[in-house]
Structure 1
Amino acid sequence: MTPNGDFADRTFLAETVHKRDIFSETISGTLEGVENFPVVLRKLDGVPLYAKPVAWFLARKEIRGLQAVQGIEGTPVLVRVDKVGLLRSWTQGTPLQLAKPTDPAFYKDAKRLLREMRRAGVAHNDIAKPQNWLMTHEGRAAVIDFQLASVHRKGSKFLRVLAREDLRHLLKQKRAYAPELLTASEHRMLAQKALPARIWMATGKKLYNFITRKLMNWSDGEGTEDRIERDGPALDKALRPLPQISDIALCTYALPAKGVGLYVFVETALTGSDLEKLLPSPAPESVQPVLRLPRAADGSLRMDALQLIATNRLDELEQLCSSEPALAEDLKPIISQRLNLTDRILRK
């Protein structure tokens, strides 16, 4: 479904924040009075003043890229742009790291998509990330997140170079999930990184990572320190004996450019402020009181689900909940009160 001219004036109804960083907040939802057309808002009006120039620079790149690919199947529909941010259609599908496609038809369609984008003068420039590729319910290919996209004169040499890199990054996904489908020519392309890409990796990317991760505390996934082994015993000793606490569960999650944080779920009727008074030093970064922790049939804690909540892996949580409706009911209040704010449920 594509929007008609009236859609741009409809009120956006927020449902779920999927990502929050220094440059924007990505919120999915619906348009008031419009059915079967989910949308997503890249919200920019709350960006800190010092980050606004970069935030709007990225937004303008996304807007220009989306305008250029309108009508191409597998790309988002740009609904409107205003002072709040940019609103586009929500592409329904499964991220590649979860879909793990092995059907040759998917990769054939993905090549079709890149080819049509190149004909429109667009290079995506950020599809090395599997989460920016989706497999739709029909098994087709789709791409999202045009923040780093660039638009060029059709047929220009630079466009051909960047489009080749987009294709090479698609082949990296194919190598990860269906290596048996790679042809001899595709193997050769994978081994030949373009010169601009080599220069970027050696220079620009290092500066980009330093600015975004170190100076601006943009979220990343670095850090491997075992916080549970180090801090877990003290938490067990301080919390488990208390009559107000039934159980605790410890998980880890990546902190913005600072290593690993400790996320503690506490089965209790106490409030968060009450719990903070009971914590040993050093205290964990996140402590969430939960009335009932999710458990398997044998009574063991569902640590797989709790780890997904702690690390904000919303796509995987949705898949897990759709396959286990009973578990979904247990998880719903925990997800709605989650403390790691890169993902957060807004509307119950």
Structure 2
Amino acid sequence: MPDQPLTFVPDTVLKRDVFSETIAGHLAEDPSRKVALRKLDGVPIWARPIAWYLARKEIRGLRAVQGIEGTPELLRVDKVGLLRSWSEGTPLQLARPVDREFYRDAKRLLRQMRRHGVTHNDIAKPQNWLRTPEGRAAVIDFQLASVHRRRGVMFRTMAREDLRHLLKQKRAFAPDLLTASEKRLLARKSLPSRIWMATAKPVYNFITRRLMNWSDGEGTEDRIARDGPAIRELAARHDALRDVALCTYALPARGVGVYVFAETDMDAAELRALIPEARAELVQPVADLPRRQDGSVRSDVLQLIATNRLDDLEEVLRREPELEPLLCPIVAARLNFTDRVLRG
């Protein structure tokens, strides 16, 4: 980490959950340099021990992968939180890479991390993988990473799980590229993974989702699971609502809100009267929801609109210009302007 002071200038909130707030910004000393801050000083007192436990794992992991292409650089640690370099790229669920070179580079990244004794342990989430503008692989969010002094059974098992989780991404977006050996690896979960899924995972889900009303799904706090069924039931009872798509976004003060895109001819006032604010903070009528060829709703692009991530949306539209006529009126009428923007 550099010795000189670094002054962080916040731009946009990327994510909020009970354990941290992730904010994108730049350095006052170098406005052209984008950085990201995992902010911890606003965490509730009861959650601080867990928040700093996760932060210490991230600090150790980022220091261990220093210099590996495709990993963030840790710039500063203080009582406010962790400041790291910005990782430029598109999350995998949006990039949906189908080229062989990306997966080769992703394996290269895992091999280099393994040489440094690091396992990521959280790359089953496609949002923790990025496809850079150059088409290369990058990983973010090292909160669950482990740094191993010895290359024993536990290290080899966790490294194997990292590879297996990469292959799950490959199966989701480019199944035709899977080799026979990769298919065999996918079919064999490690023993610790099977034990976790059978024993600890249900307990973890009960504590976080039932007792804490929180999940590890990018700070959604399970609002969709909690309020979604009631909203969908309302939609099913009214012929004027053809379909609804539910997204989450970080509330300006704290927590997570629900954003409903409703395919309907109703106006905004009628829709708001139908869906109470206790169920969804924002409701937006749209003439047509964006859909894939199989008819499923493009929740990926709607999530970008709900969270005001228009820069990422522009990247999607460059790849899929046919979406622009449908999305432009939805973007123009969007309701969340203040969540992500922190400066004028």
TM (normalized to structure 1)? Answer: 0.76
* Distance of 1:170 and 1:39 partners within structure 2: 26
How far 1:317 sits from its partner (Å)?
Answer: 3.6
How far 1:36 sits from its partner (Å)?
Answer: 3.4
* Distance of 1:52 and 1:179 partners within structure 2: 41
Indicate yes or no: 2:22 matched with 1:19: no
For structure 2, list consecutive stretches of 5 or more residues without a partner in the other structure: 215-220, 251-256, 291-297
> What residue in structure 2 maps to residue 34 of structure 1?
30
> What residue in structure 1 maps to residue 246 of structure 2?
252
> What residue in structure 2 maps to residue 222 of structure 1?
225
Indicate yes or no: 2:79 matched with 1:76: no
Q: Which residue of the other structure, out of 133, 138, 144, is the alignment partner of 1:148?
A: 144
What is the aligned length?
311
Question: Over the residues paired in the alignment, what is the CA RMSD in angstroms?
Answer: 3.7
> What residue in structure 2 maps to residue 243 of structure 1?
none
**One-letter amino acid matched to 2:225:** E
SS in 2 for 1:137: coil
How far 1:46 sits from its partner (Å)?
Answer: 0.6
Q: Which residue of the other structure, out of 303, 310, 316, is the alignment partner of 1:308?
A: 303
| CA shift in 2, pair 1:64/1:229, >3 Å | same
* Distance of 1:57 and 1:111 partners within structure 2: 28
Alpha-carbon deviations, 1:85-118, whole Å to 9, x = none?
A: 1111110001111111111111111111101101
Alpha-carbon deviations, 1:133-180, whole Å to 9, x = none?
A: 111011111000001101111422211110011001111111111111
> What residue in structure 2 maps to residue 335 of structure 1?
336
How far 1:282 sits from its partner (Å)?
Answer: 5.0
Say whether the 8 Å CA contact 2:11–2:343 is kept in structure 1. yes
Say whether the 8 Å CA contact 2:305–2:313 is kept in structure 1. no
**One-letter amino acid matched to 1:336:** F
SS in 2 for 1:127: coil
Which protein shows a greater Rg? Answer: 1
**One-letter amino acid matched to 1:227:** I
SS in 2 for 1:73: coil
* Distance of 2:27 and 2:267 partners within structure 1: 37
| CA shift in 2, pair 1:216/1:182, >3 Å | same
| CA shift in 2, pair 1:313/1:114, >3 Å | farther
Alpha-carbon deviations, 1:197-227, whole Å to 9, x = none?
A: 1111112222222222222222235365262
> What residue in structure 1 maps to residue 41 of structure 2?
45
Q: 5 Å matches for 1:58-97? A: 58-97=54-93
> What residue in structure 1 maps to residue 183 of structure 2?
187
**One-letter amino acid matched to 1:63:** I
* Distance of 2:197 and 2:10 partners within structure 1: 37
Alpha-carbon deviations, 1:257-307, whole Å to 9, x = none?
A: xxx957479978xxxxxx8xx9468555345599xx8x8xxxx46777994
Say whether the 8 Å CA contact 2:308–2:336 is kept in structure 1. no
> What residue in structure 2 maps to residue 245 of structure 1?
none
* Distance of 2:108 and 2:316 partners within structure 1: 31
Q: Which deviates the most, 280-289 or 79-88? A: 280-289
* Distance of 1:332 and 1:88 partners within structure 2: 34
| CA shift in 2, pair 1:210/1:254, >3 Å | farther
Indicate yes or no: 2:167 matched with 1:171: yes
* Distance of 1:45 and 1:10 partners within structure 2: 18
* Distance of 2:233 and 2:10 partners within structure 1: 39
SS in 1 for 2:54: helix
Alpha-carbon deviations, 1:40-66, whole Å to 9, x = none?
A: 111111111111111111111111111
Say whether the 8 Å CA contact 1:134–1:141 is kept in structure 2. yes
SS in 1 for 2:161: helix
For structure 1, list consecutive stretches of 5 or more residues without a partner in the other structure: 237-248, 269-274, 339-343
